[in-house]
Amino acid sequence: MSYSELQAASRFADAVPGDQDFDHQETTGAVGSYLLGLGLATLLTVVSFFVAGTTLVWTPSIPVALVVLAIAQMGVHLVFFLHITTGPDNTNNVMALAFGVLIVLVLMVGTIWVMTTMNHNMMPMDQMMHMQR
Q: Tell which phi-psi region holds residue 124, choosing left (phi > 0), alpha (psi between -120 and 50) or beta.
A: beta
- Residue 4: band (very low, low, confident or very high) from pLDDT cuts 50, 70, 90: low
- Residue 106: band (very low, low, confident or very high) from pLDDT cuts 50, 70, 90: very high
Please provide the DSSP assignment of 36-97 as one string.
HHHHHHHHHHHHHHHHHH-SSS-GGGHHHHHHHHHHHHHHHIIIIIS---SSGGGHHHHHHH
Q: What is the pLDDT of residues 14-27, one digit of tens each?
A: 555 556 665 666 67
- Residues 42 and 127: their CA atoms lie apart, in Å, by 52
Q: What is the mean pLDDT of the chain?
A: 83
Q: What pTM, to 2 d.p., does this model score?
A: 0.61
- Residue 120: band (very low, low, confident or very high) from pLDDT cuts 50, 70, 90: confident
- Kindly state the average pLDDT of the residues 97-118: 93
- pLDDT for res 110: 96
For the chain, give every domain's residue range. Answer: 22-83, 86-133
Angstrom distances, CA of residue 68 to CA of 9, 41, 48, 53, 62? 45, 13, 10, 16, 10
